[in-house]
Chain A
Amino acid sequence: MNKVYASQAAMPQNPAYSAPSAASLKARSSTAGYDVTRIREDFPILHQEVHGKALVYLDNAATTQKPKTVIDCIRRVYENDYSNVHRGVHTLSQRSTELFEAARETVQKFINARHCHEIVFVRGTTEAINLVAQSFGRSTVKEGDEILITAMEHHSNIVPWQMLCEQTGATLKVAPIDRNGELQLDEFEQLLSPRTRLVSVVHMSNALGTINPVKAIIERAHSREIPVLLDGAQAAPHMAVDVQDLDCDFYALSGHKLYGPTGIGVLYGKEKWLEAMPPYQGGGDMIRRVTFDKTEYNTLPFKFEAGTPNIVDAIALGAAVDYLESIGMDAIAAYENQLLHYATERALEIPQLTIVGTAERKGAILSFTLERIHPHDIGTILDHLGIAIRAGHHCAMPVMDFFGVPATARASFGLYNTFEEIDILMDGIRKVIEVFG
């Protein structure tokens, strides 16, 4: 497969002023063929007013809106096909089971996993990482061992490891980042030690937008036989992901950031690890045979799916993936890359604005601060203009500490955002500055 990753091209280096209309025209012409107007039609929620203004939804890193196919899918399944899975001989149960397993296969193909049973349905990225920490971690990590993460992780890729370290006496090591928000790969490599049991790294940072050099990370870890988990919560919705090509050992993602429902996510794990790992939770579905003396666990992936799963949302996640593939991940990545370039250029025209996160390879996230205006105030005023952004620490407090800011304002783009919306955002930011005089 020929893959184009988001933001492979260098970001604009100098903050030279460029007329917005020219830049905008340039960007727009190079995305010809990507029919964003039609795409927006697929998202009912986008067509509303907030505070009397057309909604401009730029909080896609927090969560994404749902296309009609996903909403309809949920309704259709509950109205026609719904029952419990894997346990009935009756027709509805069989239909639900087939749809549920078909969704697993859809996800398998989406991230190009070798086997369908390497796809474990979980609640989201957070649960996926906790599963690995508690199952893989508690069975292999001993006192004095080390887990290596980076300084740009989301709290959900920090806290589960701190908990594991507390339980086992292992140590959490943190590879540093630089002022652009890029991982310092050499330092990272030096932190790989004979005691490192696992590397867990974000594929794309939600606070900074940085896309990590995950292939290089994985090669370096694998040359020491250390497995690698990738937190794909942000990457999966914005670029083609091929877990075999990456050769990662685990990959975690959240349905709700992938234009799918909340409460469903995926843990991909290589068969050899999942086979060796003990179950994470006990209950129905994860067993083959239970007596009071001994329980035999079920095969993969069911060993890790105790209890009735989130059946309908898993099926709807399959619908979300189908939707993304109907547009094409490479087309989405290329389009969003244009949005990011345009937003970055326009942002650099505003002298009071500082971009936080200027890595060379970035996903479509613009984190910024304004001189002497707190991000919270920016968020409230933009909201009044119909613009939804996030203001805060983005569940990455160590990143905020590193950049010496309490919080940032963050505009994060998705496949349905437009160049016009970026113009509205920039006008809004200028209004904020004006109001605060």
Chain B
Amino acid sequence: MLDQIRDLYQEVVFDHNRNPRNFRVMEDANRKIEGFNPLCGDKITLYVKVNDEGVIEDLSFQGSGCAISTASASLMTEIVKGQTEEEAQHLFDIFHRITTGKNEEAVNLEEIGKLAVLAGVRAYPARVKCATLAWHSLQAALKNEANTVSTE
């Protein structure tokens, strides 16, 4: 009966929840944004360093959230590091599709690598926002929007 739950809580999720990567303050970030999920109180601060060529040189985060949101933020920082803003945006679009189950047939799972472990959230509508909080924050940071985003 707890087998199903393993679709959501895969080992990779536990691993990133226990030891989140890039979990630090970045003093020389040129973008910084706070993300909130008011429904459950998840909170992240995302730090991004984008160079003149539009490449995301570094990103890191701080904050407190559930296992899903922490793992998602951690995975995102690993995968997006070194990508251009366009590449990151493209990845966000795909990620959004797999987590909401919308137009997912068009998704090449290989393209998203480890992020696929979060596909399980689509069976948990109440948890989709946990998985996408970091991504919404990144998108806002790249667009240089106001310095807080909220999933509501």
B1→A384 contact, CB < 8 A: yes
Distance in angstroms between the alpha carbons of A406 and B68 in the assembled complex:
15
B5→A53 contact, CB < 8 A: no
Decide yes or no whether A194 CB sits under 8 A from chain B: no
B42→A406 contact, CB < 8 A: yes
Cβ proximity bits B64-88 to A, threshold 8 Å, 1 near / 0 not: 1111101000000000000000000
Distance in angstroms between the alpha carbons of A400 and B47 in the assembled complex:
26
A contact residues, range? 20 to 34
Distance in angstroms between the alpha carbons of A297 and B14 in the assembled complex:
63
B contact residues, range? 20 to 34
Decide yes or no whether A23 CB sits under 8 A from chain B: no
Distance in angstroms between the alpha carbons of A189 and B126 in the assembled complex:
42
Q: Give A384's nearest chain B residue, CB to CB.
A: B5
Decide yes or no whether A275 CB sits under 8 A from chain B: no
Residues of chain A from 404 to 437 with CB closer than 8 A to chain B in the complex: 406-407, 431, 435-437
Q: Which residues of B contact A385 (CB under 8 A)?
A: 1
Residues of chain A from 374 to 422 with CB closer than 8 A to chain B in the complex: 374-377, 380-381, 384-385, 391-393, 397, 400, 406-407
Decide yes or no whether A51 CB sits under 8 A from chain B: yes
Q: Which residues of A contact B39 (CB under 8 A)?
A: 392
B40→A407 contact, CB < 8 A: yes
B127→A380 contact, CB < 8 A: yes
Decide yes or no whether B41 CB sits under 8 A from chain A: yes
Cβ distance B117 to chain A, nearest Cβ, rounded Å:
15
**Within the complex, which residue of A51, A373, A392, A393 is in contact with B4, where a contact is CB–CB below 8 Å?**
A51
Residues of chain B from 53 to 71 with CB closer than 8 A to chain A in the complex: 64-68, 70
**Within the complex, which residue of B5, B64, B126 is in contact with A435, where a contact is CB–CB below 8 Å?**
B5
Q: Which residues of B contact A437 (CB under 8 A)?
A: 14
Q: Which residues of A contact B68 (CB under 8 A)?
A: 376-377
B41→A435 contact, CB < 8 A: no
Q: Which of A373, A380, A393 is the most central at the interface, judged by chain B CB atoms within 10 Å of its CB? A: A380
Distance in angstroms between the alpha carbons of A373 and B66 in the assembled complex:
7
Distance in angstroms between the alpha carbons of A391 and B9 in the assembled complex:
17
Cβ distance B152 to chain A, nearest Cβ, rounded Å:
13
Distance in angstroms between the alpha carbons of A406 and B40 in the assembled complex:
8
A53→B1 contact, CB < 8 A: yes
B14→A380 contact, CB < 8 A: no
A436→B14 contact, CB < 8 A: yes
Q: Give A437's nearest chain B residue, CB to CB.
A: B14
Decide yes or no whether A33 CB sits under 8 A from chain B: no
Cβ distance A203 to chain B, nearest Cβ, rounded Å:
25
Decide yes or no whether B130 CB sits under 8 A from chain A: yes
Cβ proximity bits B102-126 to A, threshold 8 Å, 1 near / 0 not: 0000000000000000000000101
A393→B41 contact, CB < 8 A: yes
Q: Which residues of B contact A373 (CB under 8 A)?
A: 67
Decide yes or no whether B43 CB sits under 8 A from chain A: yes
**Within the complex, which residue of B1, B2, B130 is in contact with A376, where a contact is CB–CB below 8 Å?**
B130
Cβ distance B56 to chain A, nearest Cβ, rounded Å:
27
A391→B40 contact, CB < 8 A: yes
Decide yes or no whether B8 CB sits under 8 A from chain A: yes
Q: A384-B4, A435-B9 are in contact. Are A374 and B14 (CB under 8 A)?
A: no
Distance in angstroms between the alpha carbons of A437 and B18 in the assembled complex:
10
Distance in angstroms between the alpha carbons of A384 and B7 in the assembled complex:
12
B40→A392 contact, CB < 8 A: yes
Q: Give B3's nearest chain A residue, CB to CB.
A: A384
Q: Which residues of A contact B14 (CB under 8 A)?
A: 436-437
A374→B1 contact, CB < 8 A: no
Q: A380-B8, A391-B40, A400-B41 are in contact. Are A374 and B67 (CB under 8 A)?
A: yes
Residues of chain B from 1 to 53 with CB closer than 8 A to chain A in the complex: 1-2, 4-5, 8-9, 14, 39-43
Q: Which residues of A contact B124 (CB under 8 A)?
A: 380
Q: A392-B41, A406-B42 are in contact. Are A377 and B1 (CB under 8 A)?
A: no
A376→B127 contact, CB < 8 A: yes
Q: Which residues of B contact A436 (CB under 8 A)?
A: 14, 67
Cβ proximity bits A343-387 to B, threshold 8 Å, 1 near / 0 not: 000000000000000000000000000000111110011001100
Q: Which residues of A contact B1 (CB under 8 A)?
A: 51-53, 384-385
Distance in angstroms between the alpha carbons of A51 and B64 in the assembled complex:
29
Q: Which residues of A contact B67 (CB under 8 A)?
A: 373-374, 377, 436
Q: Which residues of B contact A51 (CB under 8 A)?
A: 1, 4
Q: Which residues of A contact B4 (CB under 8 A)?
A: 51, 384
Q: Give A373's nearest chain B residue, CB to CB.
A: B67
- In the complex, given contacts A376-B130, A397-B41, what are 13 additional A-B residue pairs having Cβ atoms less than 8 angstroms apart? A374-B66, A374-B67, A374-B70, A375-B66, A376-B66, A376-B127, A380-B5, A381-B9, A384-B2, A384-B4, A392-B39, A406-B40, A407-B41
Q: Show 13 A/B contacts (Cβ-Cβ < 8 Å), sorted by A.
A: A53-B1, A375-B40, A376-B66, A376-B68, A376-B127, A376-B130, A377-B9, A377-B66, A380-B8, A406-B40, A406-B42, A406-B64, A407-B41
